[in-house]
Amino acid sequence: MDIARSEDPDIGIPATCRICEARQGVVCGALAAAQLRELSRHSTRRKVDAGREIVAQGEEVTSYSNIMDGVVKLCKVMPDGRQQIVGLQFAPDFIGRPFVPESTLSAEAATPAEICVFPRGLLDRMIADTPELRHNLHAQALKELDAARDWMLTLGRRTAQEKVASLLYLIATHAEPETTSSTAFDLPLSRAEIADFLGLTIETVSRQMTKLRKQGVIRIENNRHIVVPDMDELERLVSA
């Protein structure tokens, strides 16, 4: 009956997908039930330890993934070992670059993560067949471009203190959707990773964090857990 149909939009959708956090994400949100069924048959859900590489810089890419849980960092490294994190991705973001054979950067789990891996050929075919999917990927690319350019401003023109405040603000707004004036969260990154994201050294990051703590802008519990009593104060320090 029409009523039954309109009341259950999940008819024909695999059970795994129904409870999936990325069901409405960039990729799966654009697929029809039949496509979801086929994709789900060939995908594997996989746990990734923190620090484990998902895609290697300069390597041929044979699969794409959805982040189901955790945080993934996108890195560039120089031959001499200097490193820069050029992006952070959160669930349910999509990892992968259509149209290009190999990746110019590496993707690595920053926290223990869970990803859903799609074979490249299959998803490429669905991209070719599905205008809405293409549109979603285009929109995500533009979103990432904006994020990258915002961060360029941070890297080029902000002081160490502003950089650290920017990072805390970024994590806070991505981890905690609620915009109450007080916030608490766990840092998904080590001090070394924060340094690689901000273009600083570990020591400078540590010193700036201590300074923010002594100023009362944040409280630090067990290194990773941060409490921000007043988000407005933190935002002020970003001077955006």
Q: Which is nearer to a copy of itself, 84 or 206 (CB)?
A: 84
137 binds, among a copy of itself, DNA, none (CB under 5 to 8 A by kind): a copy of itself
Q: For the segment 16-55, give every residue that binds a copy of itself (CB under 8 A).
A: none
240 binds, among DNA, a copy of itself, none (CB under 5 to 8 A by kind): a copy of itself
Q: How far is CA 78 from the centre of its chain?
A: 22
Q: Is 199 in the site for DNA (CB under 7 A)?
A: yes
Q: Is 160 in the site for DNA (CB under 7 A)?
A: yes
152 binds, among a copy of itself, DNA, none (CB under 5 to 8 A by kind): a copy of itself
3-state secondary structure the chain: CHHHHHHCCCCCCCHHHHCCCCCCCCCHHHCCHHHHHHHHHHCEEEEECCCCEEECCCCECCEEEEEEECEEEEEEECCCCCEEEEEEEECCCEECCCCCCECCCEEEECCCEEEEEEEHHHHHHHHHHCHHHHHHHHHHHHHHHHHHHHHHHHHHHCCHHHHHHHHHHHHHHHHCCCCCCCEEEECCCCHHHHHHHHCCCHHHHHHHHHHHHHCCCCEEECCCEEEECCHHHHHHHHCC
Q: For the segment 170-209, give every residue that binds a copy of itself (CB under 8 A).
A: 196, 198-199
Task: Give me the least distance between CB of 48 and DNA, in Å please.
Answer: 15
- The residues, any chain, with a CB within 8 Å of residue 146's CB and separated by 6 or more, are none
Stretch that binds a copy of itself, among 5-13, 27-35, 40-48, 80-88 (CB under 8 A): 80-88
Which residue in the set 34, 153, 192, 227 belongs to the binding site for a copy of itself (CB under 8 A)? 153
Q: Is 192 in the site for DNA (CB under 7 A)?
A: yes
120 binds, among a copy of itself, DNA, none (CB under 5 to 8 A by kind): none
The residues that touch a copy of itself, with contacts defined as CB under 8 A, are: 74, 76, 78-80, 82-84, 86-87, 97, 99-100, 104-105, 131, 134-135, 137-139, 141-142, 144-146, 148-153, 155-158, 196, 198-199, 239-240
